[in-house]
Amino acid sequence: MLDLRPGERPDTFTGDNLQVPTGRVFGGQVLAQSLLAAGRTVDPGRLPHSLHGYFLRAGDVATPIRFDVERMRDGRSFSARRTHAVQDNGPLLSMIASFQEDQPGLDFAERPPRDVPPPEDVPSASEHLAAVDHPVARFWTESAFDLRHVGGAVYVRADEQRTGRQLVWLKTRGAVPDDQLLHRALLAYACDQVMLEPILRHAGLSWSTAGLSIASLDHAMWWHRDVRVDDWLLFVQSSPSGQGGRGLGAARVFDRQGVLVASIAQEGMVRVPLV
């Protein structure tokens, strides 16, 4: 799915879709594909350090996506690219990503919380959903990523504490080639599975809440250091605000050694029927 094909015009690419039970393109997929398309137009020595994107409309999984890349600037250290992910009904995502060559400079970072149980001691999404016979449950359990929620998931039950705090261990189920652009794109892919969950926790909701309508609106991401998605990553998440049918999810991502590798923010539409 992430192996994009060259398009008919320069700096255009085409990609296929993950088959999702809802029939709508998974947001993390189009985010990762857009980043990889942009990366193909940049010097290989420059890696993405940030992206900012808006999800504009739902995509159809039955229709391939075209990725149009605009070369906005190539400076001495940084390159900027704009990518539009397009289907027949218009753009699905508009994203700007910035790439930088490796350079020396400041080096400091926050540390992860203490006393977080290791991933081996935390139940997986497959264990949480083993007894649920539903296409969406199978989609979660057959995901390319192993997700492990510290303190329990919100797939079928709400968080009684309603703190908006969440800790999740995450990694791919298999090895990934030693390609840092691919690892960073896969982190963008994976994070869309969990970024709005702190909002659900804060509001006392779960993915199974009757009448829940939820969708990603925009996404911002910063890679601070090299990352490997085939080793365990810890997402330290929060939701600082929910208002007007929208909520903000934030995450700091640490590797297993406690090194901060990325920061992420995503706003989503979260609507439930009024009681």
Q: How far apart are CA 202 and CA 160, in angstroms?
A: 9
Are 126 and 141 spatial neighbours (Cβ–Cβ below 8 Å)?
yes
Q: How far apart are CA 240 and CA 89, in angstroms?
A: 34
Burial class (CB in 10 A: 0-12, 13-18, 19+), 256: middle
Q: 233-243 and 65-74 as β-strands: parallel, antiparallel, unpaired?
A: unpaired
> Is residue 103 among the annotated active site residues?
no
- Annotated catalytic residue, options 192, 193, 239, 255: 192
> Is residue 266 among the annotated active site residues?
yes
- Annotated catalytic residue, options 19, 77, 161, 213: 213
Q: What is the DSSP string of 202-262?
A: HHT--TT-TT-EEEEEEEEEEE-S---TTS-EEEEEEEEEEETTEEEEEEEEEETTS-EEE
Q: How far apart are CA 195 and CA 238, in angstroms?
A: 9
> Is residue 255 among the annotated active site residues?
no
Q: How far apart are CA 135 and CA 148, in angstroms?
A: 20
Catalytic annotation, residues: 192, 213, 266
